Amino acid sequence: MTDGSVPTITLNNGIDIPQIGYGVFQTPPDETEQAVLEAFEVGYRHVDTAQAYQNEEGVGAAVAASGLPREDVFLTTKVWISNAGDERAARSIDGSLRRLGTDYIDLLLVHQPFGDYYGTYRAMEKALADGKVRAIGVSNFFPDRFVDLARHVEVPPAVNQMETHVFNQQADTRTWYAKFGTALESWGPLAQGRNNIFTHPVLSAVGEKYGKSAAQVALRYLIQLDIIVIPKSVHRERMITNLDVTDFRLDDADMQAIAALDEGRGFVDLYDPAFQEMLAAHTIEED
């Protein structure tokens, strides 16, 4: 699945996912193909997109132009809130397949825990049974909604993608996901640049021991916790350094020092009604 240097995580249904992926959140649609092609050139084989990003076509075009065998690329996309429900989600999955130019999606997620996400999940289970998808899961599901869903579906989520970084390590929530064999995947693994993560004194000091940057240390920390990470950058050099985190290992003292950075909360509050209203108001063209 990768060039051999990127570790993989085996999901609860037995398929392997590269532990380091390339994210295209907020990458303009007209720049996505080139960005993903560069990501492929430097070694990424896992790309994370979503219906709401409106750049699935660019991802698909990059896969086609790369010349890589389809089985060597791991594609993730997500069903948006406005496509929620059994029938609309089913149509949107077919739309994602068409835009990505592929016969199957490696990982399909419910993007947000709002709207008729039970109907969406049923449509995803059917897509899984029909061979359109290899694994299904969720995104942004805190333990309350996650457990409620996981207890009432046929196929337990393979992945939960959450805001996860050194300042929000999901220490209290990981246990709940693990009960269902659900892997934790980090969006925003570099905290979207907040809290001076790129120059943070603790991360920088640890990095000096290994000749690595603060950002590389932050990514390595999550990897050693068996968390899947999907950093994003449209800059080639940053793509390379984000991937270059497999040739060193943090020791116990390093891990303890970084664990102490955890603030126990993220920068995005999904429980904020105003934020929920904003998400619900964002609609995409129905397939």
Cite the active site residues: 53
Q: How many CB atoms lie within 10 A of CB 280?
A: 13
Distance CA 92, CA 24 (A): 19
Q: Is 21 in contact with 230 (CB distance < 8 Å)? A: yes
Nearest to 187 by CA among 267, 276, 271: 267
Distance CA 237, CA 22 (A): 14
Q: Is 17 in contact with 106 (CB distance < 8 Å)? A: yes
Distance CA 72, CA 240 (A): 19
Distance CA 23, CA 128 (A): 23
